[in-house]
Amino acid sequence: MKRCEVAIVGAGLAGLCAARALKSMGIDFLLLEARDRLGGRILTSDEHGMPTDDGFDLGPSWFWPMMQPDMADLVSELGLQSFSQNNNGDVIFERMSREGPQRYRPVEQQGKSLRLTGGSAALVRALERDIPADRIRLNTHVSAMALTGEGVEITLKTPDGMAAVVHASKVICALPPRLLEANVTFTPPQEQYTLARWRDTPTWMAPHAKFFAIYNRPFWRDDGLSGTAQSMVGPMVEMHDATLANGKAALFGFIGIGADQRAALGDEALKKACLAQFARIFGAGASEPRSTLLKDWAADPLTATSRDPLATGHLSAEDANSLSGLWGQRLFMAGSETSAIEAGFLAGAVAAAKRAVLAVVSPG
């Protein structure tokens, strides 16, 4: 049986931030991650879909320093570089299929969105450097937690398929509540109100899919277009310039049709429809990319549950960390969805991790 003061379940941004903070305080911890990589929904890939140190963000890609000071402080503290999302040029709006795309001069935005040089995975790489490798367990699936007289007994499946147990005084759950409710059995059981709240908290990105088309150059800029478009025609509902800081050109879009429809259509037909839409909006050159990428988060079992394809609307700002009963002094929520501010966003993960660590180290 492994023992530690604090077990952290989930090695996305929140889990990594929590681990780094505990390390700085000299508190022993284990970071347990079901995936074979760190980062969770932060996933930066090259044009062939392979993880890379400088690529395209298939998950979250933006932050807003004026509105998200915790995130801005973390980026500064880690010494990371950022650049502005390209918004120079006109935007396109597709209102209906029987009329062509309409072009508009955008209103100047307050609080410009930024992207990290190298992609959002730059956060993961920088945080990993501060976490001892022997405190990280990848390919480790947590299946159960049970209270004991001294803490929490955590049952998990290791990379070799064997069952193992970790005993921790306290646990930080740095993953979406809905995943926790769907995959982990608790003894004694969580209260029904808590389980219902977890089930009803939508997981950010879980119902969504992103499509990228990579080009030799950002040709749309030559036509005075920003790369930003909105559509009521589809299949994509929102599009943006995804060109990297190194100049590698790309467009990306959020796909608006539902997860079941995407699955029925198939990846190749969906990619073809997306390219046709890019060509319709940005010109014939958009139909001939050098490569394409499609990431459907609803098809990722470590992100989405059976409830997520039906999810609608935005996350509430409810603080979902507080647990009552016997679990209240042992289990602390740190997934971005549980943050009282910027829930679901990168900034929400940073804030939730700070709150959870503070609760863990506070007396009583």
> Treating both helix axes as pointing N-terminal to C-terminal, what angle do 13-24 and 121-128 enclose, rounded to 10 degrees?
20
Distance CA 223, CA 221 (A): 5
Residues 6+ apart with CB under 8 A from 129: none
| pLDDT, one tens digit for every residue, the chain (364 residues) | 699 999 999 999 999 999 999 999 999 999 999 999 999 999 999 999 999 989 999 999 999 999 999 999 999 999 999 999 999 999 999 998 888 899 999 877 666 899 999 999 999 999 999 999 999 999 999 999 999 989 999 999 988 888 999 999 999 999 999 999 999 999 999 999 999 999 999 999 999 999 999 999 999 999 999 999 999 999 999 999 999 999 999 999 999 999 999 999 999 999 999 999 999 999 999 999 999 999 999 999 999 999 887 655 555 555 555 687 889 999 999 999 999 999 999 999 999 999 999 999 987 6
Nearest to 88 by CA among 258, 273, 239, 228: 228
Distance CA 68, CA 87 (A): 20
Cβ proximity of 104 and 91 under 8 Å: yes
The reply to whether CATH 3.90.1720.10 applies to domain 49-119+207-299 is no
Distance CA 335, CA 356 (A): 9
Question: For the domain with range 2-42+124-204+315-361, which CATH number is right: 3.50.50.60, 3.30.565.10, 3.40.1160.10, 3.40.605.10?
Answer: 3.50.50.60
Residue ranges, comma separated, of all CATH 3.50.50.60 domains in the chain are: 2-42+124-204+315-361
Q: What is the DSSP letter of 113?
A: -
- Compute the residue count for the chain: 364
- The alpha-carbon radius of gyration of the chain (Å, integer) is 21
User: What pLDDT is recorded for position 123?
Assistant: 98
Residues 6+ apart with CB under 8 A from 217: 249
Distance CA 261, CA 55 (A): 28
Nearest to 7 by CA among 164, 130, 229, 223: 164
- Show the tokens assigned to 5: 């003061």
Phi, psi of 284 (to 5 degrees): -60, -30
Distance CA 331, CA 189 (A): 13
Residue ranges, comma separated, of all CATH 3.90.660.10 domains in the chain are: 49-119+207-299
Distances (CA, A) of 113 to 61, 87, 116, 324: 9, 9, 10, 38
Distance CA 53, CA 199 (A): 35
Cβ proximity of 87 and 115 under 8 Å: no
